[in-house]
Amino acid sequence: MVVMKMKFPFQKRVKLAQGLWLLSWCATLAGAITFALGCILKTELRRRAEVMDNSDIHVVPNTLMIVGLASLGINYFASKICQDALDAGRFPRWKNMLKPYFAISCFFTVLMLLAVIMSYVMKGNLESSLKVGLRNGIRFYKDTDTPGRCFQKQNIDRLQMEFQCCGNNDFRDWFEVQWISNRYLDFSTKEVKDRIKSNVDGRYLLDGVPFSCCNPSSPRPCIQYQLTNNSAHYNYEYQTEELNIYLRGCREALVNYYMGLMNTIGAGVLSVFLLQGSVLVSLRFLQTSMEAVAGNENTEIETEGYLLEKSVKDTVMEYVGPLMTFFLLTNQVEEGATGAPAGP
């Protein structure tokens, strides 16, 4: 059953080829933009790699860069096909190449759609990665003398100031770790001894936060230490006071930033996907309408073009069937090799 059959007079074919040539170059530019967006997202993710536990989220920019590069090649060839479609003598040379061309083009177009979907649904992966990464970053904040962690303090401080956040979930996360190195503690003082003895792990814990948690917009000088001790500060109450440190956790801030970036990029790539789909559909109509001209002396006859020669199911099986047969044969060969008896 032919899908979406249409009649194409000579002038309509010419206009289709000319319009498709322009559209394919627009799609080529869009492919370059897609690649650039993937690079931007990759760079932004790598900037915060030290507070991410894994790189699973990098599948989104990696996919965008792959489909962006593929789109450049696909649409370049589409423009060449459109040029040759204006000359009935040159178009037949593309006949054997168009079937694999459409298969490859459809694969990368679907991959582009998957990249858009992933940019919206990978919030959970990003959040879990940041949760573990930030927790480790806070724990190793004090290890400025440890190889591999020398810049952890600087990275966390810059992060908190740039994103105006404090801690992982909130500022209380700093109460649960020793974030001041032992080299800066005077162990001869009673205060240090008492704090270390007050917990079973022997850590110097205090209800304070690093300077990078301070909110410069607050009219009051920053209160970094003894945040829960009302008597330590004049006219201060911990439970009701609008603290002059950032109240938002860095995980929330980073998730909002990256999801906003990916959602914006996703919307842009979705428009590129629609443009790419339009190129492929138009090119298919041009191909099928030109096939009837091949071998005909009168190249200005009216022809018919269609999207699919068979039903959607039959067309999918036509492309997938050979792949399934290949994988089945490969599997049988491997099983035969594994089960073969050993030689004498």
Read off the pLDDT of residues 206-221 as tens digits, 9 standing for 90 and up. 999 999 999 998 888 8
- Over residues 54-110, the pLDDT tens digits come to 888 899 999 999 999 999 999 999 988 888 887 777 777 777 788 888 889 999 999
Residue 167 has pLDDT above 50, yes or no: yes
Which of 221-254 are b and which e, b meaning 16 or more Cβ less than 10 Å from the residue's Cβ?
Answer: eebbeebeeeeebeebeeeeeebbbbebbbbbbb
What pLDDT is recorded for position 176? 92
Angle of CA points 66, 274, 78, to nearest 5°: 65
Q: Which pLDDT value is given to residue 306? A: 77
Widest distance between CA atoms in the chain = 104
Q: Is the pLDDT of residue 32 over 70?
A: yes
With beta carbons less than 8 A apart as the criterion, state whether 197 and 190 touch: no
In the block, tokens 């401080």 appear at 157
| DSSP at 295 | T
Tell whether the model's pLDDT for residue 344 goes beyond 50. no
Which residues are bridge partners to 303 per DSSP? 8
Contact 167, 250 (CB under 8 A): yes
pLDDT of residue 337: 62
Which position has the token pair 């603290």?
243
As a whole-number percent, the residues of the chain with pLDDT over 70 amount to 87
* Cβ-based neighbours of 157, under 8 Å, separated by 6 or more: 210, 211, 212
Instruction: Please state, in angstroms and rounded to a whole number, the distance separating the CA atoms of residues 271 and 287.
Output: 24
Which stretch of DSSP H or E encloses residue 22? helix 10-47
Q: How confident is the model at residue 335 (pLDDT cuts 50, 70, 90)?
A: low
pLDDT at res. 237: 82
Q: How far apart are CA 175 and CA 182, in angstroms?
A: 16
pLDDT (average), residues 184-202: 85
**Residue with the larger pLDDT of the pair 241 and 154:** 154
Annotated domain spans of the chain? 3-137+252-295, 171-247
Question: What average pLDDT score do residues 269-292 get?
Answer: 88
**Residue 7 DSSP SS3:** strand
Give the pLDDT of residue 329.
Answer: 67
pLDDT at 304: 79
- Position 187 scores a pLDDT of 85
Q: Residue 68: what pLDDT?
A: 94
Instruction: Provide the CA 240 distance to its chain's centre, in angstroms.
Output: 41
**Which helix (H) or strand (E) element contains residue 303?**
strand 303-305
Tokens of 322: 């050979």
